[in-house]
Structure 1
Amino acid sequence: MFPSRVCAPLRAAPESEDIFESALSNLFTDDTQNSHGTPGQSVVYDSPRFGKIALRIPAHPDVEEGRKLFAHYLWNAGVIAADAIECASRDGVTDCQVQWDRRHWDVRGKRLLELGAGTALPSIISALSGAASLTITDHPSSPALTMGAIEQNLRENVLETPRVDHTNSRPVVNVFGYTWGTTKMYLPNHYGKPAPEQLETFDRIIIADCLWMPSQHVNLVKTILHYLESSQKDACAFVLAGFHTGRATVRRFFEIATGEWREEDQGGDEDEDEDEELRAVQGRLKAADIFEIDTNGVRRPWLPSRPGEDKQQTRRWTVCAVLVRR
């Protein structure tokens, strides 16, 4: 269901290879696609509510630091986040294939921050769904920023597109460079030049497919704790992640964030400073909701380990969590 919403636009005079490539997710339903697009080109996300949304995929970066960010694809976690936000941010909707808890996923009137945005699909859907403001960030070296993909996607799908409710109101939108775990945002394409207005807190934080680097787990939790609004009970972070680098990697993030699902043997490879940073953030969040969802919208409980699960089975699933302050 989710991967079939994404396709590559056909050329004006498509050849047979182009047609075949655009239909891969429908032809080979057992071969799960968890990333979409060709670096530097475009894909179309077919939104049930807003129609076709063209997304420029960031080009493959020239520098190794940028390549390690994997921003040059659209990942399934972003597609699922977009579906959740779109479905929950409406009243009286009964035709959504997946039902999402409106207490959390309804973004109307909310201030949102997206980390590691890439194509920024969840933010675009949030803007169209009635969010009050959006702050869209990626690492300062990300091709999504340095090559202008985020700004182009926003311009074509939000800033130059009439609102679905036919009003002239649009959310306040900012695009910044940001390094996880820090407290300062920078102008895009001007790393080292702080943004003139440093925003303080947000009602919702979107983190889609950002858990593949264990070295950044503490920094991600730091960011949530710093930017998540503390005066509102419903303020939360959406954390969605595929198991690209293994279930244990994903589990480690939730161990740090919530203090739960811990294993006795943590490897012992952290140095003293890293241990101190971990202790400062560990267990300060809790999961208001957490489950796994597959590419067809089927849900099952989150489990920190699933013995006997092979890589092909794992590729079908994405963990979805709503984290709140304790």
Structure 2
Amino acid sequence: MLRRATMNRFKHVAVWGGGTMGGGIAQVTAAAGIAVTVVEVTEDRCTAARKMIEQSLTRVAKKNFANDDAKAKAAVDTTLSLITFTTDEKLAASRAELVVEAIIENIDAKNALWKKIDGFANKDCIFATNTSSLSVADQAKVTTRGDRFGGLHFFSPVPMMKLVEVVKTDDTSKETADKLYEYSQKIGKTPVFAQDTKGFIVNRLLIPYMLEACRLVERGVATPEDVDIAMKLGAGHPMGPFTLSDSVGIDVLKLISDSWSKAEPENPIFRPSKLIDEKVAAGKLGRKTGEGFYKYTK
């Protein structure tokens, strides 16, 4: 179904959090020609965010301009010129037409942020959370802009992954949803609409899938290696559930499944996995620690 463009694009976006997700969101936003401010808690964090974005842009530019170092550098410099890094939350919020939150996946931290910047931002400014597992509505209700609040769930690594889930609550206005959809298209992503529910579309299907893969191993049905091979060759998946879990982070998987299980203890698809608990307790969290369900070498 075709969606009519709002023809009212965001000219300045503020991204809270300059880590992997926030930095990626800022990068693709600036690459689309939109001015963006990255907000961090310290100047050192601002410097680290700028360095990470510059390195990512350089990799992209070298690929796009493999035989022309001058053009590659110019492309990096042009995009970086559209990104401002600051610790001044009031200034960043007051300038923004869209605020995207990409901080820690913790509802108390997110709500504390929204309460604080709600008073700083222009009344027409739209707020969007990049949460992957938390309620968008629970965040919106701590602000005065329920109709101007939605979700923009990006996937990691942001510069590479094409999908964005545009999440609507019962209060999100059609105008807000359309603007978030159009913004996603403008920055080169393919957006899909989803109603606010646990995990939205992708994670609602993916988390139970990875949990059930663990239960297969716990029941002695198969090894992680055989499960991965079976899903790659039998279902056409690019990677199996255990390789995927290592990539996402086994601790992230536990955090989400524990949260959902606590909210719906009678729902069997959210039941925690003993295998995941053991991996997290042992500090074997996946690629980021060098070992999860598999071992990794740099």
TM-score of the aligned structures, taking structure 2 as reference length:
0.38
Please tell me whether Structure 1 or Structure 2 has the larger radius of gyration of its CA atoms.
2
- Flag the structure with higher strand content: 1
- Flag the structure with higher helix content: 2
TM-score of the aligned structures, taking structure 1 as reference length:
0.36
